[in-house]
Amino acid sequence: MARLIVKLSMRLMLALLLSLAAYAQHPQRLLTNDDVIAMVQKKLPETVIVSAIQAGPSKFNTSSNELIRLNAAGVTEKELNAMLASSGDASSSRLSSIAKDSSNSAGEPMPPSKSRMPRLTVTQGNSTQELKQEKTQLAETKTKPSSMKSLAADSAVTQGIQAGVSTATYSAASHMSSGIGGSAMQQAGGIFSGVMSHRTPTVTYVWGVPSPNSSNVLQNAKPSFAVDFSRTIAVNADEYEPAIVKLTPAQNTCRIVGATQGKEDERSTPAADWQMYSHFLEERVGSTAQKLGAGNYKILANSELAPGEYAVVLRPVSKDKKFSGGDVARAQGDGLMFDAVWTFQISEEAQ
């Protein structure tokens, strides 16, 4: 009997050893950077994600580029700190250096610039680059701003934007009473201010970008942007915030940003009495703008962007804000802010 008990015990021990060996060959899956991003995208609470990171085991990549990618994907500072602690690299100076390496995606304002013009950078994956600021062309038409599609089909709009009579040209002509400037406006079809007849009290002003597509082609369907307009002259930075809009292609000649109505002589009026954004027509993209300081923002689309033409623009926080038509025409002060645009294209192969 005793021998039988010993024999059974040995068999049990052998079975236990075999089980342990099998478990050692198939260890618990390690938590990775992509797992954390997946939890963030599933909108799990921050406390839950931090607890999961701390519970480990894990194998996190905490290189500078990876921390930049994680932050751009929406991973919070507490979650990043938990990952660094789990990897044995939790110094605050490390996070500070990452912020400097990627000012637009690590939750810190962009580095100061000597330029007083608004600036924008885009991050896609591990790459960050500055996009050139463009300036919209301003055209006029009698078509009501009922839809972007109707404006895109209006030849007066497309001819005006394509004519290339910029706000700078308008400014020069209005200051110098130049016959050349007046001639250029008439060649644009008579749709720019200064040559409109007085048959109707209002016209539709249309903001557009010449050329059918942007040269900034992005391969990431959910890019992250950082905007700095903190040093713009004659502007209260707290009155503006960035937004992402979808552009409407118009007859393969230009892209329409938006439109509103105003007095037919609005662009020659110096008084700041035009509430042009109160009924502004544009195709907004759902996005989240994180304010990092006065005039410093990080902005990210709420979902992946479909292939097409888009732009980051600056819009007044209050729709009741009043503008000077003259400032809008000359792209100065508040007019400069509203006219500024950074266009980009999401490619068909964007991930």
Residue 273's SS3 state is strand
Length of the chain: 351
Q: Which of 217, 252, 242 is nearest to 299 (CA)?
A: 242
Those residues with Cβ within 8 angstroms of residue 289's Cβ, 6 or more apart along the chain or in another chain = 241, 242, 243, 297, 298, 299
Residue 192's pLDDT is 39
> Which uninterrupted H or E stretch holds 329?
helix 325-330
**pLDDT per residue as tens digits for the range 169-188:** 333 333 333 332 333 333 33
Taking the alpha carbons of 288, 117, 194, 166 in that order, is the dihedral positive or negative?
negative
Q: Which of 288, 351, 254, 310 is nearest to 131 (CA)?
A: 310
Taking the alpha carbons of 86, 92, 94, 99 in that order, is the dihedral positive or negative?
positive
| pLDDT for 325 beyond 80 | yes
- Count Cβ atoms within 10 A of the Cβ of residue 28 and give its class: 0-12 exposed, 13-18 middle, 19 or more buried: exposed
| pLDDT for 76 beyond 50 | yes
Q: Which of 125, 159, 160, 155 is nearest to 143 (CA)?
A: 155
| pLDDT for 104 beyond 70 | no
pTM: 0.61
Tell me which of 187 and 292 has the higher pLDDT. Answer: 292
Tell me which of 98 and 147 has the higher pLDDT. Answer: 147
Instruction: Give the count of beta carbons closer than 10 Å to the beta carbon of residue 36.
Output: 24
Q: Which of 106, 125, 343, 118 is nearest to 223 (CA)?
A: 125
pLDDT band at residue 193 under the 50/70/90 scheme: very low
> Which uninterrupted H or E stretch holds 8?
helix 2-25
Distance CA 62, CA 51 (A): 18
Residue 267's pLDDT is 85
Distance CA 199, CA 320 (A): 28
Q: Average pLDDT in the 5-28 region?
A: 51
Residue 86's pLDDT is 82
